[in-house]
Chain A
Amino acid sequence: MTTTTSPETNPTPPATAPAPWPDLVSAALLGTERRRPPVAVRPGQSAAAALLDAAAVSTVRRRAALRPAPAGERPAPAPDDPRPPLPLPARRRLALLLADRGDTGGGSRRGAAPDLTELLPQWLAAAGAYGYRAPEALLPALLDAARARTDLRPAALALAGPRALWLARLNDAWKFALRGTGGAAVLPEGEAPEEIARRWEEGLFAERVALLTAVRRRDPEAGRDLLATTWSTERAEDRLMFLDSLREELTAGDEPFLEQALSDRSRTVRATAAELLSALPGSALAARMAQRAQVCVGLDPAAGPEAVIRVEPPRECDAGMQRDGVVSKPPSGRGERSWWLGQLVEATPLGGWEARFGGRAPEEIVALPVADNWRTELHDAWCRAAVRQRDAAWARALLGVPGAPSRTGEVAPAGSSRDLTKLLTVLPDGERAGWVAEFIAAHGLSDAFRMLGVCAVPWAEPLGRSVVDALDIARDAGSYPWSFSGVMGLAERCLDPAAADRLAMLTAVTDEPEGASPGSGGYWSEAFQRLVGTLRLRATMRAELLPPPDAGTTGGSDPTADAAASRAVADADTAAGAGTAGCATTAAPDDGSAP
Chain B
Amino acid sequence: MKFKSKIFSMLMIAALGAFSLFFTNCSGDKTNADNQLEDTLSINDEFNKAKQVIYGIPSPIETAMLMKRAGAKFNQDYLNPLSNLTNYTTTRNMALNLGVYSADLSFASMFDQSQLSIKYLSATKKLADDLGILNAIDKSIITRMENNINNRDSVMEIISETFMNSNMFLKENDRGEIAAIILTGGWLEGLYIGVQIVKNTAQNKELMERIADQRLSLNTLISLLGEYKNDANVQAILPHMERLKKVFDKIQASSSKMEVVEKDGKNIITSTSEIKFTPEVFEELAAVITEIRSNIIK
Please determine whether chains A and B interact with each other in the same assembly.
Answer: no
